[in-house]
Structure 1
Amino acid sequence: MGWSISNSNDSKLVCTALSKAIECRNPPKGLVFHSDRGSNYCSYETRRYLLNNKLRRSNSRKGNCWDNAVAESFFGSLKREMEYNYFYKIQEAEELLFDHIEVYYNRHRSHSSLDFVSPVQFEVNAA
């Protein structure tokens, strides 16, 4: 998973997160990037980025949060587990998000959708 943080929820934020995901994961061409219909996901810049990186775009249906259930679940868990922390500086938020996503969520947190193992352990088992 790629992630990024910014003061602006715009296409640059989306493309930065996608760049991190591509750099870390080296996904196969044609991988599907699914999102809701937010302007940051449907913008020309984001569409061009996806095309240049040979990623396929998929958007949820209008007004149907169930199409995006995995992302909705992730952000719901993130908010619950981080206890709605208030951050005074974006760098502080970035450090806490790194610890939560890269250290806890990916390496230690069990996931019911992965037979109650962490994402890292799931990939080790699948290899």
Structure 2
Amino acid sequence: MRQSMGGVGSCYDNAAAESFFAVLKEEIGVRVWPDRASARAEVFAFIETFYNRRRLRRHPEWGYLKPLEIRQRHLHTLAA
């Protein structure tokens, strides 16, 4: 993980990233893995199996859809 690179004193620069990392820490916790590859595999699995596919966006502007559904709608709109 890398340190946030937002502007000094601006809490809004990295709001989306900070929100993601909060969910990540809550879901997989803070633990020690045997090696970097294991840690990367678990984070990747979390992102691909839960965060992008099953988690709902908790906002009416996004229609309470999953991020994958939002992306598919956007791509469909661009293709039309």
CA distances 1:64-112 after superposition (whole Å, capped 9, x unpaired): 2222111111111111111223212111101101110122111111112
Match in the other structure for 1:46:
none
TM-score (structure 1 length as normaliser) = 0.49
Give the drift of 1:117: 1.6
Gaps of 5+ in 1: 11-34, 37-59
Please state which structure has a larger fraction of its residues in strand. Answer: 1
Kindly indicate whether structure 1 or structure 2 has the higher relative contact order, using CA contacts under 8 Å at least 6 residues apart.
Answer: 1
Residue from 47, 57, 69 that aligns with 1:101: 47
What is aligned with 2:72? 124
| 3-state SS in 2 of match to 1:101 | helix
TM-score (structure 2 length as normaliser): 0.73
Describe how 1:7-46 pairs up with structure 2 within 5 A: 9=2, 36=5
Structure-2 residue corresponding to 1:83: 29
CA root-mean-square deviation: 2.2
Q: CA deviation at 1:121?
A: 0.8
CA distance in 1, matches of 2:35, 2:57: 31
Which consecutive residues of structure 2, in runs of 5 or more, have no partner in the other structure? none
Distance in 1 separating the partners of 2:42 and 2:63: 27
Q: Which moved more, 1:92-101 or 1:108-117?
A: 108-117
Question: How many pairs does the alignment contain?
Answer: 73
The runs of 4+ residues in structure 1 deviating greater than 6 Å are none
